Chains A and B, each alone.
Chain A
């Protein structure tokens, strides 16, 4: 059974960098899209970006200047880095798997999410 698990600090200071890791178990990372999203009461569910086959990334334009997503297939995990954070980046962060199934594109598996609070 494929499982995703987020990990990382729950508290980040303003202007610093938020770093999270998603561990993938039960599946090869090759051939799938690996995605970060976040959810807050203010913005709802927001797609942050994805990494595909190690080198291909695509980011939400609203966050692009601050985001890096990378993956390490040998260790079966992928990571999110978001720099220069403010209180507006406080959210529950989810990692997810993206499936490209013919004409369809969807997020079929999600981690349980981790709350990250930006505060001094």
Chain B
């Protein structure tokens, strides 16, 4: 099974900041990396698929990058609604595993 490790586990920032979080799979991935946002009390919401493709309706301040075993989610100009937990997920092979999440806090 592919293990997904996210860092940091939590991150403090302010509205308007630029933040970056990392996801490191235990095996090399090609384009098989997705990012989700989960607000309190809500289901995960797809932000980015295939490393860097923005899901329809997701603001352009979200950006994904990386390759192999090192992937990054960047959020530019943080908005109040961005404070949530962010998960990476590998879609290379079943079971399709998630990281433990990065909590973005004010």
- The answer to the question of B80 belonging to the interface, with a C-beta cut-off of 8 Å to chain A, is no
CA distance A60 to B94 in the complex (A): 7
Q: Binary interface profile of B, 62-106, with partner A (CB < 8 Å = 1, else 0)?
A: 000000000000000000000000010101001111111100000
In the complex, which of the residues A61, A103, A110 contacts B50, with contact meaning CB atoms closer than 8 Å? Answer: A103
Is the CB–CB distance between A110 and B45 below 8 Å?
yes
Is the CB–CB distance between A110 and B34 below 8 Å?
no
Interface size, chain B (Cβ < 8 Å): 25
Find residues 56-99 in chain A having any chain B CB closer than 8 Å to their own CB. 58, 60-62, 94, 96
In the complex, which of the residues A45, A58, A61 contacts B44, with contact meaning CB atoms closer than 8 Å? Answer: A45
What is the count of residue pairs linking A and B with beta-carbon distances less than 8 angstroms?
57
- Contacts A47-B94, A47-B95: A108 and B46 contacting too (C-beta < 8 A)? yes
Is the CB–CB distance between A47 and B97 below 8 Å?
yes
A: interface residue count bin = 20 to 34
- The answer to the question of A13 belonging to the interface, with a C-beta cut-off of 8 Å to chain B, is no
- The answer to the question of A14 belonging to the interface, with a C-beta cut-off of 8 Å to chain B, is no
In the complex, which of the residues B31, B94, B99 contacts A104, with contact meaning CB atoms closer than 8 Å? Answer: B31
CA distance A46 to B53 in the complex (A): 23
